Amino acid sequence: MRWINEFAKASFSLYSGNTISAFQPLDFFHFYGIWYDLWLERVIQAMEKIDAENKSFKELQPLLPTPSNLRALLQKAIPPYFGTDKSKKVLYARYTNFIARMLMEACPEDPFGLSRTPLHNQSEVEKIIRDIPWQPASAQEARLLGKLITAAGSLVHGLYNDVVTDFGWDAYGPYNNQAKDDEKYTLLVRDFPDLLPTELWGADFTPSVKSVQIYQLYQNVEWVIGCVGCHTIVKSGDPITGLKYYVVLADGKILGPEELRVLIMELATKAEKIYLEIRKKNFEELKEMVMLQECYQLKKLFEAAGLDWKPTARMKEIIKDKPLQTGILPHDVMMTNLEQYKKVFHLNEFEDEVLKV
């Protein structure tokens, strides 16, 4: 299965004009190599128990995170291989090929998010537009939704850190040229599927709702989703005047403007608290937190296999009092083009050493 070149084209947008030094709260890519193979062994064990490699995305969808998170998992699995003794080629090949196949089946039109996340087929999009109780939008509601996205996104970055963000934040679409009342619109869906990870954070840091979905219908606005949902940007048009209809659901309940204001304040307050808490953590505590957050992404898959999703004693032991690795990726090199990105992130080497074996 050949996928890495198309994946590289799409995932380059995550790092274009950026360096790995920007990620917080620690240097993930020089941390994962210490323990990631131990986790992947457990992931493969869970996959085998439920025969995941012989099942379709539709069968496994209830156990998997959203497409943006699968893309992030795929990207994160490649650099750690170069932090190991490279004896686990088959392990890394099975895992990355499985994730790639899930994405190809989940979003066949754009599996790796070159510009879209088309999770829904056309009949599903039509059903959303037909069944959603749309509310007319003015500039005031458009700005309110912008504040909601900012507040929810800020909380997600605290709950899940900078490279597990996509577990708590995705976007689907854009679905262009969709008919409603004899007019054409673009449908964009924002999804915050898990704002209440009680296994990671206590009640002081989590909100009163678990999930928030924002459905929006636009005219004369062009959107691009760059590999992951939190990289949803306007390509052209005005998203304030271009928003025509919207609906916000919190745990399945439709929220009106005043309820949205209350939720925005709650999410922003929790985000501030969680950032202050993270700043109190020492290096060892940050390593433990990041490992737990990473493992949490596949919690449902592990539980379906009858396995504990949390880090094993061996995983905890191997990172204890260990410094971060060095030399896997350069810290301060700005990514400026695709070929540079493929070289720096070892994508070509990974294909040659792992995927072609």
pLDDT in tens, 38-91: 999 999 999 999 999 999 999 999 999 999 999 999 999 999 999 988 889 999
Whether residue 166 is predicted with pLDDT greater than 80 in this model: the reply is yes
Q: Percent of the chain scored above 70 by pLDDT? A: 99
User: Which helix (H) or strand (E) is 104 found in, with range?
Assistant: helix 89-106
Cα separation values, 224 from 116, 121, 234, Å: 6, 18, 6
**What is the per-residue pLDDT across 273-296, written as a single tens digit (0 to 9) for each?**
999 999 999 999 999 999 999 999
| pLDDT value of residue 334 | 87
Structure token digits, residue 64: 């998997």
| pLDDT value of residue 1 | 67
Q: Which residue has the tokens 């003015």?
A: 138
**What is the per-residue pLDDT across 301-348, written as a single tens digit (0 to 9) for each?**
999 999 999 999 999 999 999 999 999 998 888 889 999 999 999 999
Report the pLDDT averaged over residues 193-206. Answer: 96
Phi and psi (nearest 5°) for 116?
Answer: -150, 165
| pLDDT value of residue 240 | 98
Question: What distance in Å separates the CA atoms of residue 179 and residue 30, rounded to the nearest whole number?
Answer: 48
| pLDDT value of residue 17 | 80
Which SS3 state, helix, strand or coil, does residue 41 take? Answer: helix
| pLDDT value of residue 43 | 98
Report the pLDDT averaged over residues 202-208. Answer: 95
**What is the per-residue pLDDT across 251-262, written as a single tens digit (0 to 9) for each?**
999 999 999 999
Q: Which residue has the tokens 């131990």?
A: 38
Report the pLDDT averaged over residues 128-148. Answer: 97
| pLDDT value of residue 117 | 97
Cα separation values, 277 from 102, 202, 270, 274, Å: 36, 11, 11, 5
Question: What distance in Å separates the CA atoms of residue 347 and residue 357, rounded to the nearest whole number?
Answer: 15
Whether residue 152 is predicted with pLDDT greater than 70 in this model: the reply is yes
Whether residue 20 is predicted with pLDDT greater than 80 in this model: the reply is no
Structure token digits, residue 150: 């900012």
Asked whether the beta carbons of 6 and 108 are under 8 A apart, the reply is no
Q: What is the DSSP letter of 55?
A: S
**What is the per-residue pLDDT across 112-130, written as a single tens digit (0 to 9) for each?**
999 999 999 999 999 999 9
Report the pLDDT averaged over residues 90-111. Answer: 97
For residue 201, list its beta bridge partners.
none
CA 105 vs. chain centroid, Å, equals 17
HSE, CB side, 13 Å, CA atoms: give it for residue 124.
Answer: 8
Whether residue 170 is predicted with pLDDT greater than 70 in this model: the reply is yes
pTM: 0.96
| pLDDT value of residue 144 | 98
Mean pLDDT of the chain: 95
| pLDDT value of residue 147 | 98
Asked whether the beta carbons of 212 and 250 are under 8 A apart, the reply is yes
Instruction: Evaluate the CA torsion angle 4, 6, 8, 11 in order and state its sign.
Output: negative
| pLDDT value of residue 90 | 95
Whether residue 22 is predicted with pLDDT greater than 80 in this model: the reply is no
* 127-161 core/surface letters (b: 16 or more CB in 10 A; e: else): ebbeebebeebeeebbebbebbbebbbbbbbbbbb
Residue 24 banded pLDDT, cuts 50, 70, 90: confident
